[in-house]
Amino acid sequence: MLTTRPTSLCVGFFLLFLSLPLSTLSQPSMSSDSVYDSFLKCLSEKTKTPQSQIAKIVFSQANPSYTSVLRAYIRNARFNTSSTPKPTIIVTPLSESHVSAAVLCSKPLDFVFKIRSGGHDYDGLSYISDKPFFILDLSNLRDVSVDLADQTAWISAGATLGEVYYRIWEKSKTLGFPAGVCPTVGVGGHLSGAGYGNMLRKFGLTADHFIDAKMVDVNGAVLDRKAMGEDLFWAISGGGGGSFGVVLGYKVKLVPVPATVTVFRVEQLMAAGAVDMVHKWQFVGPKTDKNLFMRMLIQPVTRNKVKTIRATVVALYLGKADDVVSLLAKELPELALKKENCTEMTWFQSALWWDNRVNATQTDPKVFLDRNLDSSSPGKRKSDYVATEIPRSGIVSLFNKMIELGKIGLVFNPYGGRMADIAEDATPFPHRNMLFKIQYSVNWKESSPELEKGYLNQAKVLHSFMTGFVSKNPRGAYLNYRDVDIGVNDHGENSYKEGEVYGRMYFGKNFDRLVKIKTAVDPGNFFRNEQSIPTLPIAKRTGVTERGTAKRWSGAGGATIVASVLLHVF
């Protein structure tokens, strides 16, 4: 649950000297109308655009389009209710200068500044807060430009993965990009939080393919890799953009894909040997040919009025059907894969197939340009990592537990291959040497609070049940499978300690470097959310070199703030 303690204006504002009384800046006490008016005035001045024009991208709650703009990118219906906290203002920039101005004009206001690209945060952190907040919605910044000559692409934060795949497909049938399998996921959150998809065993994480990036920092400056420096570039390559600035986009290296790939989906019930198949999968999935990614879905189902477990392998093989059938006949005979289970297609069609389009070879590629606005069901996700195979008896007890709980399912995503070749500190993502990742997954249709409570509880109970089987000290979690159950930050005096709890689970030892970078680039903790990287407590900032440059800016209410800014660490 999110906490409800009130925040103070000065919280986290290191070395901040205010030249006006605090009350002048404490904007949440202002009416929404005056916040809107002063924000609009500031935006108009900074962008040198008439207020009537800039008003088209700023939505107060009084605007008739406010609700549709807000709901368009709410991707978890759990946070799409009348009681869900709503932002005071939503800004939908059309250009980089709008983003810079939005940062500068929000800074003097005591509102939490939420950044949203595709809105797929599983716990809604890009569009909810229990404190007064704005949303910066980047969905209009969606350019994707593919350069065939050097096999790269610039992809903007507000683009969806479907748009990225489509734009690559338009230009080349033998290039692809190793990112997530859901086409409506946004680039901004997915890439900055590391990202992975079904080519992970061959090519590693999405973040392993960054060449350059563009972001707006806390001073409103637009920085590329050279200007931001290698530390900050490293941080936004998996550490989550939302702690460091507003990511505008990434330049990425595309990867070669064969002209023909193979997909298959094979199911097994407990009575047909699912226990043995799942047990053996652990020894094969993470070690087999790196062209093969076999995701394992484990779900409670009812068959002939009896509750049981269904284990489903959903796979992508970067090669021909005959080859994968003979490979698995040797390595995983328990799966009993046959050629008729397999379909050969192009890589782009396989992306459609993974999006549950059974007739992928007949599907119009343009469906990937459809953003499916305002469509989602309520759900909850959690994550874990497995470092050593779960014994057969453990699989049996897990299946029995899942039957008892009734709804929650698990997804096992195999690692190995390229993942294990890359150092744990090459990016902020530390879980390179794990055998596989577990996603706990539950979605429901009903809108009953009682049922919701029950489903959320199933997720917690199963997570707790798995303790003996998963990584420890710290227990791992994947940032992009956002889970506020593992800890939240109130950004008060215990911010560092609170941040360490979830931060070590997401980032392991890399948390320390992320904190130093955060302290250097955003010492006032403007870019914060319930699970952002905290700044170092002042007493511990000795390792951070303070350049001491004074920075001055004007608030929307005319307030002037002077802050000493830390420019660099190390």
> Should residue 223 be labelled a site residue for ligand FDA when binding is judged by CB under 6 A?
no
Quote the least distance from Cβ 179 to ligand FDA, whole Å.
7
Using alpha carbons, list the distances in angstroms from residue 139 to 43, 115, 193, 378. Answer: 19, 10, 18, 22
Binders of ligand FDA among residues 503 to 532 (CB under 6 A) are 529
If one asks whether residue 195 binds ligand FDA (CB under 6 A), the answer comes out as: yes
Least distance (Å) between residue 433 CB and ligand FDA: 18
State which of residues 188, 239, 508, 557 lies at the interface with ligand FDA (CB under 6 A).
188
Query: 373, 268 in Cβ contact below 8 A?
Result: no
Confirm or reject binding of residue 246 to ligand FDA (CB under 6 A). yes
Burial track 15-44 (b if 16+ CB lie within 10 A, e otherwise): beebeeeeeebebbebeeeebbebbbbbbb
Of 6-14, 193-201, 255-263, 557-565: span binding ligand FDA (CB under 6 A)? 193-201
Selected catalytic residue, list 478, 481, 502, 506: 481
Nearest approach, Cβ of residue 437 and ligand FDA (Å)? 10
Distance set, CA 35 to CA 25, 53, 382, 557 (Å): 11, 18, 37, 9
Residue 525 φ/ψ region, left for φ over 0, alpha for ψ in the -120 to 50 degree band, beta for the rest: left
What's the Cα-to-Cα distance from 291 to each of 51, 209, 261, 333, rounded to whole Å?
54, 18, 10, 18
Q: Residue 185 CB, nearest distance to ligand FDA (Å)? A: 5
Picking from 365, 165, 185, the residue whose alpha carbon sits closest to that of residue 252 is 165
**H/E/C letters for each residue in 122-167?**
CCCCCCCCCCCEEEEECCCCCCEEEECCCCEEEEECCCEHHHHHHH
Per DSSP, 153 falls in state E
C-beta closer to ligand FDA: residue 437 or 513:
437
On whether the CB atoms of residues 166 and 122 are closer than 8 A, the answer is no
Quick check: 120 binds ligand FDA (CB under 6 A)?
A: yes
138 binds ligand FDA (CB under 6 A): yes
Please tell me whether residue 118 binds ligand FDA under the rule CB under 6 A: yes
Minimum distance from residue 166 beta carbon to ligand FDA (Å): 17
Whether 496 sits among the annotated catalytic residues: the reply is: no
Place of tokens 């008739």: 64
User: If binding is defined by CB under 6 A, does position 222 make contact with ligand FDA?
Assistant: no
> Is 162 a residue that touches ligand FDA (CB under 6 A)?
no
The verdict on whether omega for the bond into residue 21 sits within 30 degrees of 0, i.e. cis, is no
Identify the H or E element spanning 389. none
Q: Is 234 near ligand FDA (CB under 6 A)?
A: no
Helix (H/G/I), strand (E/B), else coil: 302: strand
Among 116, 371, 382, 431, binds ligand FDA (CB under 6 A): 116
Minimum CB distance to ligand FDA smaller for 279 or for 491? 491
Rule CB under 6 A: is residue 157 a binding residue for ligand FDA? yes
Does an H or E element contain 75, and which?
A: none
Instruction: State how far the Cα of 264 lies from the Cα of 551, in Å rounded to an integer.
Output: 57
| Distance of closest approach, residue 116 Cβ to ligand FDA, in angstroms | 4
Instruction: Return the residue of 11, 182, 345, 420 that touches ligand FDA, per CB under 6 A.
Output: 182
441 is a site residue for ligand FDA (CB under 6 A): no
The CA distance from 318 to 531, in Å, is 36
Residue type present at position 181? V
Binding-residue total with ligand FDA (CB under 6 A)? 33
**Cβ of 53: how many Cβ atoms within 10 Å?**
10
Binding mask 450-479 vs ligand FDA (x if CB under 6 A, - otherwise)?
------------------------------
Answer for which of 38, 92, 100, 117 binds ligand FDA (CB under 6 A) is: 117
Site string for ligand FDA, 46-85 (x = CB under 6 A): -----------------------------x----------
Q: Binding residue for ligand FDA (CB under 6 A) from 190, 214, 280, 431?
A: 190
If binding is defined by CB under 6 A, does position 115 make contact with ligand FDA? yes
- Kindly tell me which of 236 and 327 has the beta carbon lying closer to ligand FDA: 236
Does residue 181 bind ligand FDA (CB under 6 A)? yes
Distance in Å, CB of 157 to ligand FDA, minimum: 4
Nearest one of 48, 123, 61 to 87, comparing CA atoms: 61
Residues constituting the chain: 570
Q: Which is nearer to ligand FDA, 197 or 286 (CB)?
A: 197
With a CB cutoff of 8 Å and minimum separation 6, the contacts of 144 are 153, 154, 155, 156, 159, 163, 164, 167
Q: Please, what is the minimum distance in Å from the beta carbon of residue 272 to ligand FDA?
A: 28
Task: Kindly tell me which of 211 and 336 has the beta carbon lying closer to ligand FDA.
Answer: 211
How many Å apart are CA 193 and CA 206, to the nearest integer? 9
3-state secondary structure of 383: strand
For binding to ligand FDA (CB under 6 A), which residues are involved? Answer: 75, 114-122, 125-126, 138, 157, 180-182, 185-186, 188-190, 192-193, 195-197, 241-242, 246-247, 480, 529
Catalytic residues: 481
